[in-house]
Chains A and B, each alone.
Chain A
């Protein structure tokens, strides 16, 4: 039987097992919306801005290992989605974004709501497709999901002209797809894996440095097992938090610009660095010439282009991190490989000495609410088991430092692109994936206003997201840099004319609370958590000029941290 393109779209998504899509209708996608209206299987979530649709789909994907799906209209619908697509691209999040396009015969005519979606999104997608024939639609959708979810994941855009959604074709959803030019590597090279294990065996000052690849590759269990057997310290990148249990004594904290002193010192002094699913980002390495000067470096990554991009690697291993870690475990177990216990004893002693600096200490007797205290209390009250999304800035760093993630996929933040406005819509996506879980969005008064309109979406779908607004009246991270590096010239980092967040939340039908005293923090959070089925906007008026410590200043090496 012949179906219209719009019906083929819906049936293809069903065949992919898509349960939820985030979107916003418009002229070019009206046929598709009509087809969605006629079915029950796929739930469509109406956001208030297309950027939020992409962030919500992104948050959904990060929290549950299924691709996020977005549907937006042509022109402004697609351009609004670009920030979210770029965010997902930088963090390698599987996502399929369907953009409407003007009818085929009008493409290139500057038609109403026309934009070159393929051209605009090209630099921030893993791949994109323009559908030119309704008979190609099902196969293109199949390819889009395949490309988005395999290899190093990433967003894929499918641009569908309106006439394609009206035309008819036989529907057959392909079982599998073959692309001669796309063959991701899964299995690591055996010889290289043996070399890596040999290095681990003789290492005197080793460290595991692991990133988002461990989370995306579902490799936490294997990493933890290997690290425990070897008794090596583990540090996580911002994207990798939860990949190794943060409460485990072998965890030395996050590394990088605002990482712990012990993590960065251990990196600087290590003799064998085992990087897994991490990409040597500039916020991690500090000054590249000063990075890990004594280390032999093993790098496991699914993307060959990530290897030796910023830092020359000695043992490159291309492959799926989970497979490679399992192969390493087999190698260790089958050959009864042991790490150097004597050397490690000294190494741990040294690490404990660095640890004793207590680099995350802050003033507990302050009369103002310390943002770190809010996160610590949130951690304590949620038993470390909440899903935490964040926006971008100081609050993000404090959340990363003070909420101890023991499980993967619990920490949802825009690491690579650093997109303010990500937190609230991402939290919506997480809440849809985990309806009964506690989902908290840690944010600031700057970031939250970048997608504040989504409070309305939360009302529509009764999403009980908990918003932890660390309100210091400044664009805090900008202000911190201005304090350190621009002699306190606070250009445009002061937020005047803030709304009354409590009233704002209430106007959307939510609960709002403002907390001004440290003594009220815990009680207010307890109350918040009791309101299980309500969105609660917690406006914490925090210490205005608190800084994020420790810090590697720009151009510094990992051993050149500013401590509090």
Chain B
């Protein structure tokens, strides 16, 4: 979409005005600074998805739209988890983080902050594997997506 103030609120406004659900939404400028790329995750019947697609295309700030789920694609989400890490727990947490290919990016006497990237269900699985009591804070970025192979969303 056009990298302009208000473009995001047009998309968000459309979803709330028409009663569509946003599961996650990420947006950032692209290599072309006049453009932003948004990945939006939503759910609905085929008819609803068709309407959402058409309504989004009608927004003048939306330059090009692609339904990622129409073809093979990759979804990635990043998560930062701050956990309580004291005593014996420290090695246990390190091992669990390694299993999920996470990285410990901040360490203090009492805490670790673990960075983890992957599909949403992998992040869910990691959180489940953690002892609920140790989680202090979770930040998830929302899903970013890209098509596999030569299919691409390019202007």
Q: Which residues of A contact B (CB under 8 A)?
A: 118-119, 122-123, 126-127, 130, 147, 179-182, 303-305, 308-309, 312
Contacts and interface: CB of A to CB of B under 8 A. Distances in A.
Contacts of B60: 126-127, 147, 179, 181-182
A181 B13 contact: no
A180 B6 CA distance: 17
A305 B62 contact: no
Interface stretch (B51-59, B67-75, B97-105, B114-122): B51-59
Nearest to B63: A181
A179 B155 CA distance: 13
A376 B155 CA distance: 58
B9 A119 contact: yes
B13 A123 contact: yes
A180 B63 contact: yes
Nearest to B10: A122
Interface residues of B, number: 21
Nearest to A306: B54
Nearest to A122: B13
Interface in B26-77: 47, 50-51, 54-55, 57-58, 60-64
Given A181-B62, A312-B47, 5 more contacts: A122-B10, A127-B60, A147-B60, A180-B155, A304-B57
A305 B54 contact: yes
B51 A303 contact: no
B6 A181 contact: no
Contacts of B1: 181
A303 B58 contact: yes
B139 interface: no
B46 to A, nearest CB: 10
A118 B10 CA distance: 10
Contacts of A127: 60
A309 B9 contact: no
A327 B51 CA distance: 27
A504 B122 CA distance: 74
Contacts of A130: 5-6
Interface string B11-24: 00100010000000
A118 B54 CA distance: 23
A17 B139 CA distance: 55
Contacts of B57: 304-305
Q: Give the residue among B1, B10, B60 with the most A Cβ atoms within 10 A.
A: B60
Given A127-B60, A182-B60, A305 B51 contact: yes
A517 B63 CA distance: 62
B54 to A, nearest CB: 4
A309 B51 contact: yes
A304 B63 contact: no
A416 B18 CA distance: 16
A122 B9 contact: yes
Q: Give the residue among A127, A147, A305, A309 with the most B Cβ atoms within 10 A.
A: A305
A496 B148 CA distance: 69
A525 to B, nearest CB: 44
Contacts of A181: 1-2, 60-64
Nearest to A309: B51
A4 to B, nearest CB: 25
A120 to B, nearest CB: 11
A275 B137 CA distance: 55
Given A305-B55, A308-B50, A118 B63 contact: no
Contacts of A118: 6
Nearest to A127: B60
A118 B61 CA distance: 14
Nearest to A118: B6
- 5 cross-chain pairs, A with B, having the tightest CB-CB distances, nearest first: A305-B54, A181-B63, A127-B60, A182-B60, A123-B17
A130 B10 CA distance: 14
Nearest to A303: B58
Nearest to A180: B63
9 contacts: A122-B10, A122-B13, A123-B13, A126-B60, A127-B60, A130-B5, A181-B61, A181-B64, A304-B54
Contacts of A179: 60
Contacts of A305: 51, 54-55, 57-58
